[in-house]
Structure 1
Amino acid sequence: MTTKAAGQPSRRGPYSKSTERRQAILAAAHAVFAAHGYRGGSLQDVADRVGMSQTSLLHYFPSKSDLLLAVLTWRDSITGDGTTPPDPEEKLVDAVIRQARFNEEIPGVIELYTVLCAESVTDRHPGREYFTERFDRLRRSYTRRFKELADEGRLRPGVEPEAAAATLIALWDGIQTQWLLAPESVDMAGCLRGYLELVLLPE
């Protein structure tokens, strides 16, 4: 039986190379869709960024809509928002501020989300179901958190958990757009904290 010499690098197999190429395509598509949207960005734009032909790209993703949905899933795997169950030990305010600041630090994730979310309301957009389900999931998740706070006596009188949840999501999306247009003038995390302080009683 033979063994590899210590420190000798192992050769990458075809699966490893295929995975790397797939990741490169997703990163390129992320950049293209963030800059131009789904309608404005083309498969050729993505292929050019990766340095491959459009035909080769289609071996990895059979259609443009397949690529879009893969990019959205990939984005969620990076940011964790909307897919990762909240830490039951983390306070709501801390979780929201942490996520907002984390997203600010990752190039393109807010741009991609904002552009594609707006586009998704148009006819036959392949991302419509994704965003519809995402908003439904977020409303249910935040409603549950606000109900827990209400049970603890932390929700201000007259504030309904369902309305507080929907308003938080709407504020977050809106303040992200303002931040994209004027990042030096808009404190995204500060605005979100301010809203939560309005609807929650101090501990």
Structure 2
Amino acid sequence: MASSRPERRSRPETRARREEILRAAMVTFGAKGYNKGPLTEIAEQVGMTHAGILHHFGSKNALLLEVLQYRDETDVEELPEHHIPDGADLFRHLVRTAFLNAHRAGIVQTYAVLSAESVTDDHPARHFFERRYTTLREEVAHAFHVMCVEEGVTEPATIDMAAASILAVMDGLQVQWLLDPTAVELAGASAFAIEAIVAQVLAPRQTPL
């Protein structure tokens, strides 16, 4: 006699279901933000109930943090050891990421909305973005140091400011592009800015400013 009990979902199926929920959450959070993005809307996108979402993630806060982690993982999933490279390769990776982002507006919008929201009081993603920017600044600064040694530059100037500036330019261009994709070439403008900042660190020159 066949059992009437449902089959237990296998781990690959569970991972696939969770990923489906994460993608749906990215759509909702990207369009409405965290506070105004209801779990019920996410659940409807994947044919589940509100309780079903909580079964997989425990809470809305936990879902948000996993969405952010999932978004970051998409940037490095094709890289060795799933980690950004060092030295000149790091800057090439940033340029490639900008070209990739030009074809995935949904992911870019989610990041832009949630990172801006995170500066507000008690936002559940604030610590995530604080840690993320700290880590990225350190990694970009280290890449500059590696390049300066390789290029024989003995007095690299303002590396910390250059690292912060590259991240700021990339994020700012994403916002401009999201507002009007026809006015800003995201990939080309990002590459131009990154190359200009790297060149100024490696070979500083006088400017009229």
Same topology, TM > 0.5: yes
What TM-score do the two structures reach when normalised by structure 1?
Answer: 0.83
- Tell me, yes or no, if the aligned pair for 1:28 and 1:46 is still in contact at 8 Å: yes
Cα distance in 1 for residues equivalent to 2:104 and 2:152: 33
- Higher deviation after alignment, 133-142 or 185-194: 185-194
Match of 1:127 among 125, 128, 133: 125
- Higher deviation after alignment, 61-70 or 181-190: 181-190
Cross-structure match for 1:76: 72
Match of 1:29 among 25, 35, 44: 25
Within a 5 Å distance, the mapping from 1:96-115 to structure 2 comes to 96-115=94-113
User: Aligned-pair distance for 1:191?
Assistant: 2.2
SS in 1 for 2:182: coil
- Tell me, yes or no, if the aligned pair for 2:87 and 2:143 is still in contact at 8 Å: no
Cross-structure match for 2:190: 192
Within a 5 Å distance, the mapping from 1:156-195 to structure 2 comes to 159-195=157-193
Question: For residues 9-62 of structure 1, what are the alpha-carbon distances to aligned partners after superposition, in whole Å with 9 as ceiling and x for unaligned?
Answer: xxx961243333222211111111111110110111111111111112211111
Q: What are structure 2's unaligned runs of at least 5 residues?
A: 1-6, 204-209
Instruction: Say if 2:5 is the partner of 1:14.
Output: no
What TM-score do the two structures reach when normalised by structure 2?
Answer: 0.81
Q: CA RMSD in A?
A: 2.5
Change beyond 3 A, Cα 1:44–1:166: same
Q: What are structure 1's unaligned runs of at least 5 residues?
A: 1-11
Change beyond 3 A, Cα 1:87–1:117: same
Cross-structure match for 1:40: 36
- Tell me, yes or no, if the aligned pair for 1:79 and 1:103 is still in contact at 8 Å: no
Instruction: Say if 2:50 is the partner of 1:54.
Output: yes
Change beyond 3 A, Cα 1:171–1:56: same
Find runs of 4+ consecutive structure 1 residues off by over 3 angstroms: 88-93, 152-159
SS in 2 for 1:91: helix
The one-letter code of the counterpart of 1:23 is E
Question: For residues 55-104 of structure 1, what are the alpha-carbon distances to aligned partners after superposition, in whole Å with 9 as ceiling and x for unaligned?
Answer: 122111111101101111111121229x9433348534422211111122
Cα distance in 2 for residues equivalent to 1:84 and 1:135: 18
Cα distance in 2 for residues equivalent to 1:93 and 1:154: 18
For this pair of structures, how many residues does the alignment match? 190
Cα distance in 1 for residues equivalent to 2:88 and 2:160: 20
Change beyond 3 A, Cα 1:25–1:160: same
